[in-house]
Each structure stands twice: as structure tokens, then as C-alpha cells.
Amino acid sequence: MTAGLVALAQPLEEGAVSIASPAVGYVVGLPAPGVVLVGGQRFAEFELLGGREPLRLPASASGRVVFVAGDGARRFGAAYGEPLLRLEPVGDVLAREASAAAESTTEGALVLRAPMTGRFYVRPAPDKPAFVKQGDVLEAGRTIGLLEVMKTFSRVLYEGADLPTRARVLRVVPADGDDVEEGESLLELEAVD
């Protein structure tokens, strides 16, 4: 499991859990209501003193998201102990499936990050196919999407000193048209020989 901050958990009535901010900072990319999370899973990113780290659930907290703070904002400021999520219990089978899915896309994955803040597009036009999709093998210089900043579109390329020459796409993180912050994950990848 990679490092990161661990959120605070407060037990509530009937097995529900309140997940709160572990510090003063900015929370980026909270999950939508209905998503099932399991203990130890990364569920957002946390900006603290100019750096960004994964924000994880405490190992003892699992459940279905029924409340999300921030009024739907992709990035918002949070105070220490401020509630971020409310989780309600789910069946063991559903929690195990969520855990397996989280581990298969997060553990050991390489990450291609947004070079700047903007709106990310996975396809060149609404009626065109995506630049990349899960399972594609990328080589240096391939376009993976577009970033729109002030009505100007820039190509985002597969490149970076910390990335292998060839990699397979495990997951495209943002949806088409999502706003992303500089440094946020765009693709999760695995090296290909």
C-alpha cells in the first residue's frame, strides 16, 4: 500500500461512519454517492503545504458513500475534523468486490498526471473515438487527451522521465469533460516489456 494521509473516522448510529479531514487543506476528487469503499482504500487526494498526497480510509472503515462534502466541487478547502463522507454499511460480498477492484487498479500502478489545470477531454470531438482506452499500449509521444484552458486546447502526450517507454492503460481516471487540477491522475498504467 502506498503512503498517504489517513482520514479520521467517527462511528455513527446503525453501523454508519463519518469520514473527516485529517488536517487543514484542500480535498480533491471525492467519490460520488453510491460508490462502495473499503478500509485502507485511497478515496481522494489531499493538498497540504503545497504538496498533494493520497487520502485513504482508516483500515476499520468501509461502506457505501451516502454523503459527500463540498457541494459537488472537484476541489474545496476543509478544516481539521470536517466531515467529508458518510458511509453506510454494505454486505461483505459487495465490499470484497470493491476491494479487489481498488487493488487491481491502484496498487503498483504508474500514474500519468495532468501537466496543468484545465478541462480534460478523452476524445477530440463528441462523435469521435477516445484517444486512449483501457488496455491500449502507449508509446512515447502518443496523444492521450486534450486539456482546455481559457478556450485553448493543448494535447496531452504520453511522456515523462519517470514513465517507461511502453505502458498499458489500466484506467482512464477522469471522465470526458471533467475539470482536473495540475498533478491529478489522468491515467493509471503498467509497464510493458
> What digits encode the pLDDT tens for the residues 145-160?
999 988 889 899 998 7
Q: How far apart are CA 147 and CA 154, in angstroms?
A: 5
pTM: 0.50
Q: Spell out the CATH class of 5-107.
A: mainly beta
Sheet containing 83-88: give its strands across: 8-11, 17-20, 83-88, 63-68, 36-37
Closest CA to 68 of 53, 90, 83, 78: 83
Show me where the domains of the chain are located: 5-107, 111-191
- pLDDT tens, position by position, 30-53: 888 888 888 888 888 999 887 888
Domain 111-191 has CATH 3.30.750.24: no
How do residues 78-129 score in pLDDT, each as one tens digit? 999 999 999 998 764 344 444 444 444 445 568 888 888 889 999 998 889 9
Name the residue with cell 503498467: 190
Q: Are 5-107 and 111-191 equal in CATH topology?
A: yes
Residue 26 has pLDDT above 60, yes or no: yes
7: helix, strand or coil: coil
Phi, psi of 163 (to 5 degrees): -110, 145
